[in-house]
């Protein structure tokens, strides 16, 4: 288990939803798992007025709802909360940061924190450049006595130029190795397991290249709509919200070369090489290989779902995409000519994030497909969530006379492990930051290079009035033109259903 030294976690934007749903429950789970150091304190900072007591009461509700250990004894939660404090300031005003400094020095004495502080920015992005400046103004970014680290929530920039600008602004006040840019997908156990699947097993890696792999699919489907986040989402869309960050990060782990060692430097170096090898999208690619869609109203099994444009805080004529799919290529030795298909969307039939490796078929079809089935390629499915696990689809002889083949599943579920505690992504990432391990965080350069890759799509969609936006009914798998992206007569996207071990076309919403 990772060793952490005494320290404080200062959360800016503490009255917000993320703190309540994710951050405090994650730190509480760390506490329950004995991962916190002996001396620690959490200081929530926000504009809303709360006393310590009121803040703790709200955090307790969050823990009871969202923590893994939500059923913990009351006295355990109270003991954890006795190290949680709140400070109300106007975070946009530099002169108020003196109170942060005073509060920290008080907590420092009380809990023997060694002047080690993590600042977590869970605020609107407009404050990302401002808070570091004011912390610097109070000398709180300098690492003379203890360590000082800063965690930045996504979105990291809105496009390429804003990401470059944000990097510059942050690096004015923090060194690059003090900056932890969060991408919660990297905190997911199953995403990290991709490295282990690939590099701890002798059987996959020899096949993991253009000679044996026909194409790769990366899907992040959600059945929920935009819920109460219309205001944010309408200015963002699926490409910015999911692809530029989460799905390109996943792609880099699927496609990277074996690192020399498992260290942050080596892994980040290999991932960067993948990002740099992404084939830039030409004008023709933008028209043919990138698809956007927006969900429209539909009634599924008697239940009515609003269209995106009817959601609150969404413009009634919005052209924001709630679905995006694309075919892209990695121009390097290993992947030349192998299409990577990426798709994500809201209000799809089910919630699933997975990577599907489609292997090339055997050179000859010696056997017939069993009646009622079609020949299917060998697929390795890395299920990120839910029902975390790995599934290998392989052809098997149908018992009896003759030689008919059908596809069967070799299926591993994390839930079958005796001890299958899977830490939440935030639990893992906060612990890593506390221990000073930035392997699962994004480098500034990676944020820029991924924005650079998606920027032509953003420009095309924004500036070309003829760029199509396809409607798709809520509860369907997105615009049907997305099927045309997939090369090869027999190939389609995988359509996983609620029962994720099986394929099928019909799904419940």
| Residue of 152, 241, 181 whose CA lies nearest to 444 | 181
Half-sphere exposure in the Cβ direction for 455 (13 Å, CA): 16
Active site residue 470: no
Q: 437 to 496, contacts with ligand BG6 by CB under 6 A?
A: none
**241 labelled ligand-binding:** yes
Cβ neighbours of residue 73 closer than 8 Å, sequence gap 6 or more: none
Rounded to a whole number of angstroms, the minimum distance from the CB of residue 154 to ligand BG6 is 6
Query: Of residues 222, 285, 311, 387, which one binds ligand BG6 by CB under 6 A?
Result: 222
Tokens 């071990």 locate to 501
Count residues binding ligand BG6 (CB under 6 A): 5
Query: Of residues 19, 353, 376, 450, which one binds ligand BG6 by CB under 6 A?
Result: 353
Q: Which two tokens stand for residue 138?
A: 């109070």
Task: Report the SS3 class of residue 112.
Answer: coil
Query: Residue 471 carries which DSSP code?
Result: E
Pairing state of beta strands 40-46 and 7-12? parallel
Rounded to a whole number of angstroms, the minimum distance from the CB of residue 504 to ligand BG6 is 22
Rounded to a whole number of angstroms, the minimum distance from the CB of residue 353 to ligand BG6 is 5
State how far the Cα of 390 lies from the Cα of 378, in Å rounded to an integer.
13
The residue nearest ligand BG6 at its CB is 241
Q: 138 to 177, contacts with ligand BG6 by CB under 6 A?
A: 154
**101 labelled ligand-binding:** no
Q: 181 to 220, contacts with ligand BG6 by CB under 6 A?
A: 220
**304 labelled ligand-binding:** no
State how far the Cα of 389 lies from the Cα of 500, in Å rounded to an integer.
10
**346 labelled ligand-binding:** yes
Q: 66 to 125, contacts with ligand BG6 by CB under 6 A?
A: none
Residue 241 as a binder of ligand BG6 (CB under 6 A): the answer is yes
State how far the Cα of 10 lies from the Cα of 121, in Å rounded to an integer.
9
Pairing state of beta strands 323-328 and 340-345? antiparallel
Residue 142: strand pairing partners: none
Rounded to a whole number of angstroms, the minimum distance from the CB of residue 247 to ligand BG6 is 10
Rounded to a whole number of angstroms, the minimum distance from the CB of residue 446 to ligand BG6 is 16
Of 68, 246, 413, 420, which residue is the catalytic one?
246
State how far the Cα of 352 lies from the Cα of 346, in Å rounded to an integer.
11
State residue 421 phi and psi, 5-degree precision: -65, 115
Half-sphere exposure in the Cβ direction for 249 (13 Å, CA): 25
**154 labelled ligand-binding:** yes
Task: Report the SS3 class of residue 42.
Answer: strand
Rounded to a whole number of angstroms, the minimum distance from the CB of residue 346 to ligand BG6 is 7
The set of long-range contacts for 418-421, using a CB threshold of 8 Å and a minimum separation of 24, is 421/68
| Residue of 254, 301, 340, 243 whose CA lies nearest to 473 | 301
- Site mask, ligand BG6, residues 31-70, x = CB under 6 A? ----------------------------------------
C-beta of 103 vs 154, nearer to ligand BG6: 154
Rounded to a whole number of angstroms, the minimum distance from the CB of residue 451 to ligand BG6 is 16
**184 labelled ligand-binding:** yes
C-beta of 236 vs 476, nearer to ligand BG6: 236
Per-residue b or e along 271-308, where b marks 16 or more CB atoms closer than 10 Å to that residue's CB: bbebbebbeebeeebbeebbbbbbbbebebeeeebbbb
C-beta of 222 vs 377, nearer to ligand BG6: 222
Active centre residues (catalytic)? 246
Annotated binding site for NADP(+): 47, 154
Site residues for ligand BG6 per CB under 6 A: 154, 220, 222, 241, 353
Annotated binding site for substrate: 184, 188, 222, 241, 346
């Amino acid at each position: 288990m990772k060793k952490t030294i005494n320290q404080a976690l200062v959360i800016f934007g503490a009255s917000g939803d993320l703190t309540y749903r994710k951050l405090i429950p994650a730190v509480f789970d760390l506490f329950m798992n004995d991962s916190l150091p002996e001396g620690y304190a959490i200081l929530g900072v926000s504009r809303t007025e709360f006393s310590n007591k009121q803040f703790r009461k709200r955090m307790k509700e969050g823990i009871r709802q969202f923590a893994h250990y939500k059923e913990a004894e009351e006295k355990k939660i109270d003991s954890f909360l006795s190290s949680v404090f709140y400070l109300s300031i106007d975070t946009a005003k530099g002169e108020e940061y003196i109170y942060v400094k005073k509060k920290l020095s008080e907590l420092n004495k009380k809990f023997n924190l060694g002047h080690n502080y993590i600042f977590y920015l869970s605020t609107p992005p407009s404050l990302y450049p401002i808070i570091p400046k004011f912390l610097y103004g109070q000398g709180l970014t300098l690492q003379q006595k203890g360590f000082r680290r800063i965690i930045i929530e996504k979105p990291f920039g809105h496009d390429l130029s804003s990401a470059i600008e944000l990097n510059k602004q942050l690096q004015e006040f923090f060194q690059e190795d003090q900056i932890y840019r969060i991408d919660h997908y990297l905190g997911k156990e199953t995403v990290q397991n991709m490295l282990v699947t690939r590099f701890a097993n002798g059987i996959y890696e020899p096949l993991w290249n253009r000679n044996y792999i026909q194409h790769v699919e990366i899907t992040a489907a959600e059945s929920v709509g935009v819920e109460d986040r219309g205001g944010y989402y309408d200015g963002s869309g699926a490409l910015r919200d999911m692809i530029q960050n989460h799905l390109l990060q996943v792609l880099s782990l699927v496609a990277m070369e074996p690192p020399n060692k498992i260290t942050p430097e080596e892994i980040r170096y290999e991932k960067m090489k993948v990002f740099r090898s992404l084939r830039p999208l030409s004008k023709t690619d933008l028209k043919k290989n990138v698809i956007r869609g927006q969900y429209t109203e539909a009634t599924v099994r008697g239940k009515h779902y609003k269209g995106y444009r009817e959601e609150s805080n969404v413009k009634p004529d919005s052209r924001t995409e709630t679905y995006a799919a694309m075919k892209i290529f990695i121009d390097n030795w290993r992947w030349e000519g192998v299409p990577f298909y990426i798709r994500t969307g809201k209000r799809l039939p089910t919630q699933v994030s997975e990577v599907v490796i489609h292997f090339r078929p055997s050179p000859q079809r010696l056997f017939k497909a069993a009646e009622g089935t079609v020949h299917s390629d060998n697929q390795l499915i890395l299920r990120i969530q839910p029902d975390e696990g790995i599934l290998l689809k392989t052809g098997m002889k149908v018992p009896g006379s003759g030689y008919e083949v059908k596809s069967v599943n070799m299926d591993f579920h994390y839930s079958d492990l005796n001890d299958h505690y899977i830490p939440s992504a935030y639990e893992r990432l906060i612990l890593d930051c506390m221990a000073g391990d930035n392997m699962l965080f994004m480098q500034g350069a990676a944020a820029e290079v991924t924005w650079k890759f998606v920027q032509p799509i953003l420009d095309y969609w924004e500036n070309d009035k003829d760029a199509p936006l396809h409607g798709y009914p809520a509860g369907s798998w997105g615009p049907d033109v997305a099927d045309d992206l997939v090369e090869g007569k027999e190939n389609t996207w995988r359509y996983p259903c609620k029962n994720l071990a099986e394929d099928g076309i019909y799904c419940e919403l």
